[in-house]
Amino acid sequence: MNRSHHPPRRERGFTLIELMIVIAIIGILIGAAVIGFKAAQKAGNEAATLQDLKTIAAIEIQYFNTHNRAFGTFEQLIKDVGLDTRFSG
């Protein structure tokens, strides 16, 4: 019996630990991206809201200059414009 002893061949591929580390890193990167996206979305919403408030203020000034009186309350707006009463307080 002539048996030759060869060292066991190592299978090619990734170990379970290597795969788990890569998955953990990907999870961390996705988490950071989501946080960054939420912050950018919030900043965009705040900028849009600020611009809307500036537009409303400009329209109120224009209304005052045209009608020589301040813009009425929300209740008066509902009555004058005929908005749905569901919007009243």
pLDDT digits (tens, 9 = 90+) for 56-85: 888 888 888 888 888 777 777 767 766 677
Write phi, then psi, for 70 (nearest 5 degrees): -70, 155
Query: Based on the number of CB atoms within 10 Å of its own CB, is 2 exposed (0-12), middle (13-18) or buried (19 or more)?
Result: exposed
**Residue 2 pLDDT greater than 70, yes or no:** no
Give the per-residue pLDDT at 69: 83
Locate the domains of the chain by residue range.
18-87
Per-residue pLDDT averaged across 30-34, rounded?
97
Q: Residue 33 corresponds to which tokens in the numbers above?
A: 């991206």
d(CA 59, CA 56): 5
pLDDT digits (tens, 9 = 90+) for 35-52: 999 999 999 999 999 999
Sign of the alpha-carbon dihedral angle for 14, 20, 21, 22: positive
Q: Residue 54 corresponds to which tokens in the numbers above?
A: 């500036």
